[in-house]
């Protein structure tokens, strides 16, 4: 479970609403669904910067423009605010979500035809945008929401407030529900480095050449092992404060790993990490996929200590993430179970560990009913099989400690077992150059008080996050603006002149 850091540290404005909206659609229902399937033990990864942002909606008075314009009376919206609603309040899957609600789809078509919206249209749009982002589970289970779905149109301002306050109630229950199921032993909660950086590249961007020797890197030095250490240790502290104990497992951001970062993870007390099968086969110098090697944990022995590592089945993980949403539910579940049965047949009476690891939030809006039909059917089938036992990673490692060792872990991520999604094209490299220029100031005598220095570090750590580099080179201007906003704020914090190149999109600089 992960979102980029959308909050402006200086103004406290939340630039995009995705933490709040995914919070009402994905994070709570994904764990509550397990209450009906006690035999399904599952591992969830919560990125600290996501949880921090969720908490800001509960503990502060967030300046979320999307939320503020949702609360504002429709009749009082300015012309500019009306345009904002028309541009932004249809930002959800058209086929699986908007089209299943006749009034929302009617408004969508009206906007496409560039027809004028009256006050009631705008009020209905405010309601539908926020209501549609609430998970179907809650729309069905909460009577007030269920009645609004049936009403469909001619909403009142009071009904709109019910939707928005219900969103807050859902957010409030997320972490307590995870803690409850963790206490019961049904789930394990793991952690990622605090602001979701690509740790091997933070250690040294030249590590990218180990994963892809032909990669074209920016002509700049960027190597900050101390930031690797800080991002990990801050995550551990955050986890311990929220959950009352230290995490056993870590999901390195984007499953990005290398030999260089292992000692920092071991020093932090982590027992196991997860990455992609491609890293396993590169580490073992295997040119072909070999499930005999894949379906078991390994151990990494270092001077600092030992670290367990598991590798996900890329094929089965990607089927759920990117393929099955186009299929009939029964056919999709049948196909998944067919693959598992083949694995069981291939290994006969041997015990094997099959790891399915995937994005926790983004796939489901492409499924019917936000993935509930698929997940409920899958969990039912898994619960009723005699040849599968669903366990958390730590449960498995206690029963079957690894006996095979990897001498040297290859560098790479879940995408192509390299780092090309974050470095290597001109736009991504330009972003690294701007980050490097900002980061070098922290190694200078800035004459800042301790609180200001810590704020400056936090701002740099945010700018080290993976998402900004992911989107550079693609048509995604929102993330360019966010990245530059974070760096501009850094220069303001340290009281240095803001470089001119940060005032225009980096792809134009």
Listed in sequence order, the residues at least 6 apart from 406 whose beta carbon sits closer than 8 Å to its beta carbon are 280, 283, 284, 298, 299, 300, 309
What is the domain count for the chain?
A: 3
Give the H or E element holding residue 275.
strand 272-276
Q: Are 489 and 471 spatial neighbours (Cβ–Cβ below 8 Å)?
A: no
Give the end of a domain, one of 155, 182, 209: 182
Q: Is residue 383 scored above 60 in pLDDT?
A: yes
Q: Is residue 509 scored above 80 in pLDDT?
A: no
- Same-domain check for residues 178 and 251: no
Q: Is residue 310 scored above 60 in pLDDT?
A: yes
Q: Are 190 and 251 spatial neighbours (Cβ–Cβ below 8 Å)?
A: yes
Give the end of a domain, one of 182, 212, 227: 182
At 272, which CATH number?
3.20.110.20
Return the closest-CA partner of residue 415 out of 374, 464, 358. 358
**Mean pLDDT across the stretch 206-210?**
98
311 phi and psi, to 5 degrees?
-125, 130
- Same-domain check for residues 375 and 477: no
**Mean pLDDT across the stretch 185-196?**
98
Mean pLDDT of all residues belonging to the chain: 96
**Mean pLDDT across the stretch 165-189?**
98
DSSP string, 434-447: HHHHHHGGGGS---
- Same-domain check for residues 34 and 100: yes
- Same-domain check for residues 293 and 367: yes
For 133, the domain range is 13-182
* Residue 60, pLDDT score: 81
- Same-domain check for residues 293 and 362: yes
pLDDT in tens, 111-142: 999 999 999 999 999 999 999 999 999 999 99
How many residues does the structure list for the chain? 509
CA-to-CA dists, residue 482 to 4, 12, 181, 195, 504, angstroms: 10, 13, 35, 14, 12
Residues 128 and 106: their CA atoms lie apart, in Å, by 11
* Residue 419 within any structural domain of the chain: no
**Mean pLDDT across the stretch 87-112?**
97
Q: Is residue 349 scored above 90 in pLDDT?
A: no
Instruction: Supply the pTM of this predicted model.
Output: 0.96
pLDDT in tens, 453-488: 999 999 999 999 999 999 998 877 899 999 999 999
pLDDT in tens, 60-96: 878 999 999 999 999 999 999 999 999 999 999 999 9
- Same-domain check for residues 155 and 284: no
Return the closest-CA partner of residue 405 out of 223, 262, 265. 262
- Same-domain check for residues 116 and 17: yes
* Residue 158 within any structural domain of the chain: yes
Return the closest-CA partner of residue 296 out of 358, 336, 351. 351
Q: Are 21 and 93 spatial neighbours (Cβ–Cβ below 8 Å)?
A: no
* Residue 508, pLDDT score: 58
Give the end of a domain, one of 121, 152, 182: 182
- Same-domain check for residues 234 and 197: yes
Residues 338 and 319: their CA atoms lie apart, in Å, by 13
- Same-domain check for residues 142 and 79: yes
Q: Are 218 and 437 spatial neighbours (Cβ–Cβ below 8 Å)?
A: no
- Same-domain check for residues 76 and 177: yes
Residues 368 and 377: their CA atoms lie apart, in Å, by 13
Give the start-end residues of each E strand in 313-366: none
- Same-domain check for residues 332 and 399: yes
* Residue 476, pLDDT score: 76
* Residue 421 within any structural domain of the chain: no
Listed in sequence order, the residues at least 6 apart from 288 whose beta carbon sits closer than 8 Å to its beta carbon are 281
- Same-domain check for residues 361 and 255: yes
* Residue 445, pLDDT score: 81
């Amino acid at each position: 479970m992960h979102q980029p850091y959308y909050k402006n540290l200086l103004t406290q404005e939340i630039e995009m609403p995705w933490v709040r909206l995914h919070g009402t659609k994905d994070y709570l229902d994904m764990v509550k669904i397990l209450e009906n399937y006690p035999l399904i033990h599952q591992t969830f990864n919560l990125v600290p910067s996501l949880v921090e942002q969720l908490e800001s909606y509960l503990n502060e008075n967030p300046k979320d423009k999307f939320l503020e314009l949702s609360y504002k009376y429709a009749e009082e919206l300015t012309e500019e605010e009306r345009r904002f609603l028309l541009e932004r309040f249809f930002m959800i899957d058209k086929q699986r979500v908007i089209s299943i609600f006749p009034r929302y789809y009617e408004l969508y078509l009206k906007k496409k035809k560039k027809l004028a919206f009256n006050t009631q249209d705008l009020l209905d749009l405010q309601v539908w945008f926020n209501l549609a982002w609430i998970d179907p589970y809650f729309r069905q289970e909460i009577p007030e929401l269920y009645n609004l779905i049936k009403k469909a149109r001619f909403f009142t301002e009071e009904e709109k407030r019910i939707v928005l306050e219900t969103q807050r109630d859902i957010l409030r229950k997320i972490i307590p529900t995870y803690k409850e199921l963790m206490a019961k032993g049904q789930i394990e909660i793991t952690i990622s480095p605090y602001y979701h950086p690509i740790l091997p590249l933070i250690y040294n961007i030249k590590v990218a050449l180990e994963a892809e020797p032909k990669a074209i890197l920016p002509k700049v030095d960027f190597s900050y092992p101390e930031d690797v250490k800080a991002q990990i240790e801050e995550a551990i502290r955050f986890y311990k404060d929220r959950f009352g104990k230290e995490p056993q497992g870590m999901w390195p951001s984007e499953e990005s790993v290398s030999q260089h970062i292992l000692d920092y993870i071991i020093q932090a007390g982590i027992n196991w990490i997860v990455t992609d099968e491609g890293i396993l086969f590169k580490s073992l110098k295997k040119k072909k996929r070999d499930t005999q090697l894949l379906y078991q944990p390994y151990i990494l022995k270092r001077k600092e200590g030992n670290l367990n590592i598991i590798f996900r089945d890329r094929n089965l993980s990607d089927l759920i993430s990117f393929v099955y949403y186009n299929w009939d539910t029964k056919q999709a579940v049948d196909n998944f179970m067919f693959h598992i049965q083949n694995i069981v047949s291939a290994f006969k009476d041997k015990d094997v560990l099959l790891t399915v690891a995937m994005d926790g939030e983004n796939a489901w809006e492409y499924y019917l009913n936000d993935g509930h039909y698929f997940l409920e059917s899958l969990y039912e089938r898994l619960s009723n099989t005699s040849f599968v036992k669903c366990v958390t990673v730590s449960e498995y490692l206690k029963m079957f400690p690894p006996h095979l060792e990897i001498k040297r872990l290859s560098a790479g991520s879940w995408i192509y077992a390299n780092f090309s999604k974050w470095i290597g094209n001109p736009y991504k490299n330009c972003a690294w150059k701007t980050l490097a220029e900002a980061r070098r100031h922290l190694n200078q005598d800035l004459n800042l008080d301790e609180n200001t220095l810590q704020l400056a570090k936090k701002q740099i750590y945010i700018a080290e996050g993976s998402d900004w580099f992911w989107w550079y080179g693609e048509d995604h201007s929102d993330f360019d603006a966010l990245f530059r906003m974070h760096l501009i704020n850094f220069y303001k914090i340290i009281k240095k002149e803001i470089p001119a190149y940060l005032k225009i999109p980096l792809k134009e600089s």
